[in-house]
Amino acid sequence: MVEAVFNFFSALGSEFALFMISMIPLIELRGAIIFASAINFPWYKALPICIIANMLPVPFLLIFGMKIVKYLKTTKLFGSFFTKYEEKLHAKSEEVEKYGFFALTVFVGIPLPATGAWSGSLVATILQFDFKKGLLSIFLGVCIAAVIMTLACYGAFGFLRLFI
């Protein structure tokens, strides 16, 4: 199964595959950099493609996110999840207001499952972050995650080879 998915994306062309993988929720840039490393795609070409593609949906999610969340709360499949998620976020809203920008940046920047730009946009939307602050915070988090994943996938020495 994994091989079939790998072959599908490889057939699309490396740049296009990286671009598309970076926009998939929950996989995002983290998975795209792993894919780039697996196909021996140069990290310095992969990084800007993955960052741009990962950030592309973010402004739209920040603008239309609440409408999407309100709709999903009315569905049987996602209703209880989004209701509980929103309640949990509002319960921690004092902490978020205190550390908001920094906390959102770290949340998006730590390359763990469900902590990427899509999730960060959802958090920023539900907690009604200022659009510009939310966008900048998510962008910085995506850049941090990109560097961490690049170092992890290509190795610190492989990353530094370009500069030596």
What pLDDT, in 10s, does the model give residues 52-108? 999 999 999 999 988 988 898 899 988 898 888 778 777 766 766 678 899 999 989
Cα–Cα distance, 144 to 33 (Å, whole number): 13
- Band (4; pLDDT cuts 50, 70, 90): confident
C-alpha gyration radius of the chain: 17
Closest CA to 57 of 47, 41, 68, 46: 68
> Which DSSP letter does residue 8 get?
H
Question: How much is the pTM?
Answer: 0.82
